[in-house]
Structure 1
């Protein structure tokens, strides 16, 4: 299991605390592998973008129009967090539904 997020994100830290066996990947430091990013975009669509983040608000309209995959590769902090992968299964965010599905709620 991999948990993609930011090391200073409170939500990611909460998730990691309840998923101690998950391998944490800081997206600012290492990014998200292209195959994982493409699969996550195919699964979640534009929900993969955190349009409420400070990073998103700091982007120009031209940058926002680059397309979600290009934008996420250039600015990984704009990704909704955490993105959790477990084999072919993916979860986005840390909602009660995600926690229940992972057996930690």
Structure 2
């Protein structure tokens, strides 16, 4: 029988580049976070989470804005902000650790060009 996999879900807070780079350097992994990247960590003030900074391939999304003032019409689709680029080694699920994401909006034109 295979191992059941579950999506990891939680809220994150975006961080400034400097503390993100400093944390990686303190942990023996000096990195440079470019303008094409986002840095975020778990936001524990808003309930339970099972996200882990080592989960490469994960996504960072924002809920869409309401489509109108009518709640019956709901919200626009979720908006992709980032894809996990790198984090800490497996087993490091400390919510205070930063995860670095590729900033997808910076590649939107390139992605759409490939889809044509």
Q: TM-score, normalised by structure 1?
A: 0.28
TM-score (norm 2): 0.27
Q: Which one has a bigger Cα radius of gyration?
A: 2
Q: Which protein is richer in helix relative to its size? A: 1
> Which gives a bigger RCO, structure 1 or 2 (Cα 8 Å, sep 6+)?
1
